[in-house]
Amino acid sequence: MFIPIILSALVAAPAVWSHPGLTPRAVPQVVYGCQNANQIAMTFDDGPYIYLRQISDAFTAANASATFFMNGNNWACVYDPARVSDVQHAFKAGHMIGSHTWGHTDLTANNLTSDQMNDQLYRMELAFSRMLGVKPAFMRPPYGNYNDDVLSVMSSRGQSAAMWDTDTGDADGNNVTTSEGVYDQVANANLPNALILEHETEKTTAEQLVPYAINLFQSKGYKLVTLADCIGAQPYQAVGVAQQRDASPTSSARDFIMLIFVL
């Protein structure tokens, strides 16, 4: 019974990619920082989780943009109705959505096969296709770990690796004062730009770091933009239409099983 449902979802997927108007990108395959002056890109990993909407709304209210690198199955399942709603909310507000792999897998683990690596990226492409109608152009490798094999798989899927040049350490045990000090250093050094790592999954990040950083950087005259904006690139390889939620996809192995049926 569920096989035809899933097949129809997959068969419908190519329509999402068939929209014209794609701009060829000339983006380095690994991005370490912003290029545009006076711009700061704040990036939030490991969601979607319960703070996505709050962070998204804080940036929107400040006429600013943020970037979220998401997992399919990490702190929450990306297909939970509440998470889908929040992801669509942030996307519609103009914030950038990128991949962080399905399961927050270290892609350089030496027991990972090429098929497993592709599956980690494919499942996020499928999720974003269903929820948002987009195909991501950027992937942040979990733990910042990548090698030539990882870059080869990413390249074949049209995705650039998004690293960072500034780390708040918000998920590494830094307290709020220390993380705020990281923002202070960027602002006080009058750096031309910064590509900053945060995590959506930290309550103190949502409640304290985000308001602090927005206020600090805007008062210093920086513009808070998406990662794509700060390097003059497109955030997505393709933009189409989201699918209606019908077959209740879950974070189980179901998608993978379906793929096997199709292949």
Ligand X SMILES: *[C@@H]1O[C@H](CO)[C@@H](O)[C@H](O)[C@H]1NC(C)=O
Q: Which residues bind Zn ion (CB under 5 A)?
A: 45-46, 142
Least distance to ligand X, CB of residue 5, Å: 28
Packing angle of the helix pair 254-262, 2-17 (nearest 10 deg):
80
| Contact residue for ligand X among 145, 147, 156, 178 (CB under 6 A) | 178
Q: Smaller CB distance to ligand X: residue 8 or 116?
A: 116
Least distance to ligand X, CB of residue 130, Å: 25
Rounded-to-5 percentages of helix, strand, coil across the chain:
40, 15, 40
Tell me how far apart the alpha carbons of residues 154 and 97 are, in angstroms, rounded to a whole number: 16
Residue 219, interface with ligand X (CB under 6 A)? no
Q: Smaller CB distance to Zn ion: residue 139 or 228?
A: 139
Residue 145, interface with ligand X (CB under 6 A)? no
Tell me how far apart the alpha carbons of residues 239 and 21 are, in angstroms, rounded to a whole number: 9
| CB within 8 Å of 141: residues ≥ 6 apart | 101, 107, 108, 150, 161
φ/ψ of 212, rounded to 5, equals -60, -50
Q: Smaller CB distance to Zn ion: residue 142 or 240?
A: 142
Least distance to ligand X, CB of residue 116, Å: 5
Least distance to ligand X, CB of residue 109, Å: 5
Tell me how far apart the alpha carbons of residues 252 and 214 are, in angstroms, rounded to a whole number: 37
| Contact residue for ligand X among 23, 111, 219, 244 (CB under 6 A) | 111
Least distance to ligand X, CB of residue 16, Å: 28
* Exposure b/e, 122-140, CB count within 10 A at least 16 = b: bbbbbbbbbbbbbbbbbbb
Handedness of CA 228, 50, 135, 253 (dihedral sign): positive
Residue 93, interface with ligand X (CB under 6 A)? no
86 binds, among ligand X, Zn ion, none (CB under 5 to 8 A by kind): none
Q: Smaller CB distance to ligand X: residue 67 or 243?
A: 67
| Contact residue for ligand X among 7, 13, 112, 216 (CB under 6 A) | 112
46 binds, among ligand X, Zn ion, none (CB under 5 to 8 A by kind): Zn ion
Residues 51-90 that bind ligand X (CB under 6 A): 63
Residue 153, classed as helix, strand or coil, is helix
Q: Identify residue 58 by its one-letter amino acid code.
A: A
Least distance to ligand X, CB of residue 107, Å: 11
**Which of 104, 143, 102, 98 lies closest to 119 in space, CA to CA?**
102
Site for ligand X, rule CB under 6 A: 63, 109, 111-112, 116, 175, 177-178
